[in-house]
Amino acid sequence: MKKLIIFAGAMLLLAAGTVGFFANRPMSAQEALILKNVEAIADPEAYMNMVRTTNSCSITFEGAAGVSTTVQWLGRSWPITFDADGKFTITHSSGEIICDTGGTTVCTPRDC
């Protein structure tokens, strides 16, 4: 029984020393970035203090002149007909959303 108590005490000291070593070592840049992201997600006010700006997005498709087809873009189907140069451009007025700090609204950014 005495050996078991000594063994358990040694294991407890080893565990405490290991935890102390990892708790006191400096964070790498990647770990610091991950921690900042987790803290930002956990902050309920982080998404409520934004300035929302919308920009138009456009994309040009190329194909045979005069041909009609359907393309998928921004989650919907678009019927298109290529012009005489074999091009067709779609512009979506609010396809890109930019969120900057300092505002009073909830914002979710979206790329073109």
Task: Identify whether residues 37 and 57 lie together within a single domain.
Answer: no
Task: Identify whether residues 110 and 63 lie together within a single domain.
Answer: yes
Query: Which portions of the chain are predicted below pLDDT 70?
Result: 17, 19-24, 42-49, 112
Strand 50-62 and strand 87-101: the pairing is antiparallel
CA nearest to 74, candidates 98, 51, 58, 55: 58
Model pLDDT, residue 47: 57
What share of the chain in percent tops pLDDT 90? 1
Task: Measure the CA–CA gap between 8 and 14, rounded to whole angstroms.
Answer: 10
Model pLDDT, residue 45: 58
- Domain coverage including residue 111: 47-112
The total number of structural domains in the chain stands at 2
Model pLDDT, residue 92: 76
Task: Measure the CA–CA gap between 19 and 109, rounded to whole angstroms.
Answer: 39
Task: Identify whether residues 62 and 104 lie together within a single domain.
Answer: yes
Model pLDDT, residue 98: 77
Model pLDDT, residue 77: 87
Task: Identify whether residues 107 and 53 lie together within a single domain.
Answer: yes
Structure tokens given for 28: 């790498």
Task: Identify whether residues 53 and 89 lie together within a single domain.
Answer: yes
Task: Identify whether residues 79 and 26 lie together within a single domain.
Answer: no
Model pLDDT, residue 54: 80
Task: Identify whether residues 51 and 34 lie together within a single domain.
Answer: no
99 to 32, 52, 74, 82, 105: CA distances (angstroms) = 23, 5, 19, 35, 9
Rg (CA), the chain: 28
Model pLDDT, residue 2: 77
Are 70 and 78 within 8 A, CB to CB? Answer: yes
